[in-house]
Amino acid sequence: ANASTEDEAGSDVFSMRTQAVRDGDSYVLNGSKTYITNAPIADLCVLYATIDPTLGPLGVTAFLVETTNPGLELSPPLEKMGLRTAQMGRITLKDCRVSADAVLGREGRGVKVFESAMEYERGCILATTLGAMRRRLEACITHTRTRR
């Protein structure tokens, strides 16, 4: 799961409120993520939190977190109108402690990790849409050639 979206952030993903506070050789995460694809079934997630909200995107840090980690709670799947093969859910963090080794890249460089993950995700979304469009186009061509 790639956990970035929050209720209050809307389309401005980097105005997140989920916080990561350094505590010795670990971080304590608090906050929540919503509309996270694969959250109800994920074993592992890339989770984004800010080390300092006043830094905006420069405060975002990416963490690799196991979903069995104490303090991390997964919701049941959210109801959706379509794309039911990809479950979506919420992740809630309450004093979820992760090792400093869980930081992906460097502290404050989570935007780079996010952009890299989104390149792949956008490609997958485009591929399924193109496939559906091709199927519809072929159906239209077949109908046009056979209609009277």
* Cα–Cα dist 49/104, whole Å: 12
- 107 is an active site residue: no
3-state secondary structure (DSSP) of residue 4: coil
* Cα–Cα dist 49/61, whole Å: 6
Residue 41: C-alpha distances to residues 58, 89, 93, 98 (Å) = 30, 9, 17, 20
3-state secondary structure (DSSP) of residue 79: coil
Catalytic residue, chosen from 8, 66, 121, 138, is 121
Q: List residues with catalytic annotation.
A: 121
